[in-house]
Chain A
Amino acid sequence: GQSLEQPSEVTAVEGAIVQINCTYQTSGFYGLSWYQQHDGGAPTFLSYNALDGLEETGRFSSFLSRSDSYGYLLLQELQMKDSASYFCAVRDRDDKIIFGKGTRLHILP
């Protein structure tokens, strides 16, 4: 079956760096996206990788290795407002969009 695996929870300290991993198993692959969702809020787009390598957007970076079916989201200089759930998502060959179950990021002061 098709699946995306990401850790259910990650804890880090304010000001530190944290990496959230995502491995996928899908029929076809058309890019990996990351979304942030605060409790009670809507998901917001963070980044997208179609090709291998690192994409950087401010404090957030995202990496993709298509040969390993693996990607990660890197958050630097963590702030308390980064406490949220983070979802990876892919699009398969039938154009279905598959989201991971999400990683809840806890940030300690």
Chain B
Amino acid sequence: DSGVTQTPKHLITATGQRVTLRCSPRSGDLSVYWYQQSLDQGLQFLIQYYNGEERAKGNILERFSAQQFPDLHSELNLSSLELGDSALYFCASSPGTGLYEQYFGPGTRLTVT
């Protein structure tokens, strides 16, 4: 158990819909990262927040947005969903801003039908 929690575990929704994925980082960690992992694909970095502020942006679609709240939990909002958005979405946290030692949550499996 990494100490990072993600809800929900599974999500099934239809094309065009909007969903929100939630992540609680490990106690004391200030950075939250969001990743997308499609079938047979590596991890695609979406976005990082550090202590409430956006720190780095990866290949995140304009239909996707995220935020980190004062209690440091984070939400990833996915809208106008397409079939290709079906994937595992991981959240990770770390104490600082570097690449060193990120702790991953169990992931949310999103299925768009």
Contacts and interface: CB of A to CB of B under 8 A. Distances in A.
Contacts of B55: 95
A33 B100 contact: yes
Contacts of A33: 99-102
B97 interface: yes
B48 A97 contact: yes
Contacts, number: 61
Contacts of B102: 33, 45
Given A94-B56, A95-B56, A96-B57, A48 B101 contact: yes
Q: How large is the interface on B (under 10, 10 to 19, 20 to 34, 35 or more residues)?
A: 20 to 34
Nearest to A46: B101
Interface in A69-107: 87, 89-91, 94-102
A44 B41 contact: no
Interface string B56-98: 1110000000000000000000000000000000101000011
A2 to B, nearest CB: 11
Contacts of A7: none
A100 B45 CA distance: 11
Contact of B99 (A42, A48, A87): A48
Interface of B: 2, 33, 35, 41-45, 48, 55-58, 90, 92, 97-107
Interface of A: 30-31, 33, 41-45, 48, 50, 87, 89-91, 94-102
